[in-house]
Copies of this chain bind each other. A is one copy, B any other.
Amino acid sequence: MLNKKVMTITSSNKLSYRDAFMLIIKRDLTIAFRHRDDILNPIIFFIIVVTLFPLGIGPEASTLSRIAPGIIWVAALLSTLLSLDNLFKSDHNDGSLEQMLLSPHPVFILVLAKIIAHWLVTGLPLIFIAPILAVLLHLNENSYGALMLTLLLGTPVLSLLGAIGVALTVGIKKGGVLLSLLVLPLYIPVLIFATSAIDTSAMNLPYSGQLAIIAALFFASLTLAPFAVSAALKVSTN
């Protein structure tokens, strides 16, 4: 019924790297948008965690403004951490991950696409919502620029490093909390430099040094993480 030719060993039926990359991004975004929740939830978690602190600590503006950068960044860390579970777990559970590993493309390209899609859905929205929460926490007025910039450069690092942790734990039944043990220590440098940049900016001092380091972290993890992730995936699906 289908007009097929004789089978051949071939290397032609293959997408370009760019097409494969776009295909995965498109798919992951489709799935995320299918449930709108996937996009709203990290934001809402972020908002709730940030609002827990005034409730737990008390409403004094001076204390809050003192601790605002730390709280916003810790909340960003945690909300990324929570959303990481979606990155490979569901694909592993229904066998799609296996299929991706078997596809005729370098695994790191597919992995990179998945990480970027994850960041678009969970990291990017944080950057837009953070200034509003900063107002609630009486963040110093000089610090908004630094807050946005550190989030813009820092959240991709969180997604990239987090992906390594998820890839290592994806085959393990209850990886949920193990994941945080693996990933949170890796997040600490980002946390320290980012909050330090914001604190410096509050004193109206230049914070380009810290920003440069975060940028360096970003490029380092962008180039190295996809390889670590694909190696880890091969191990944990074995």
Interface of A is mostly: helix
CB contact under 8 A between A69 and B48, given known A78-B78, A176-B82, A177-B82? no
Closest chain B CB from A206 CB (angstroms): 19
Number of identical protomers = 2
Whether B85 pairs with A176 at a CB distance below 8 angstroms is: yes
Whether B45 pairs with A191 at a CB distance below 8 angstroms is: no
Complex Cα gap A14–B122 (Å)? 49
Judge if A143 is at the interface, Cβ distance under 8 Å. no
Judge if A174 is at the interface, Cβ distance under 8 Å. yes
- B residues less than 8 Å from A191 (CB atoms): 52, 55-56
**Interface residues of A, CB < 8 Å — how many?**
46
- B residues less than 8 Å from A174 (CB atoms): 35, 37-38, 86, 90
CB contact under 8 A between A69 and B56, given known A37-B177, A41-B181, A181-B48? yes
Whether A41 pairs with B178 at a CB distance below 8 angstroms is: yes
Judge if A73 is at the interface, Cβ distance under 8 Å. yes
Whether A56 pairs with B71 at a CB distance below 8 angstroms is: yes
Encoded as 1 (CB less than 8 Å from any B CB) or 0, chain A from 65 to 105 comes to 01101110110011100110110001001000000000000
- B residues less than 8 Å from A49 (CB atoms): 74, 78, 184
> Which residues of A come within 8 Å of B, CB atoms?
35, 37-38, 41-42, 44-45, 48-49, 52-53, 55-58, 63, 66-67, 69-71, 73-74, 77-79, 82-83, 85-86, 90, 93, 173-174, 176-178, 180-181, 184-185, 188, 191-192, 195, 199
Subset of 22 A-B contacts with CB under 8 Å: A35-B173, A41-B176, A44-B180, A44-B181, A45-B181, A49-B74, A49-B184, A52-B77, A52-B188, A55-B188, A55-B192, A56-B69, A56-B73, A56-B74, A56-B192, A56-B195, A57-B71, A67-B67, A79-B177, A82-B177, A83-B177, A86-B174
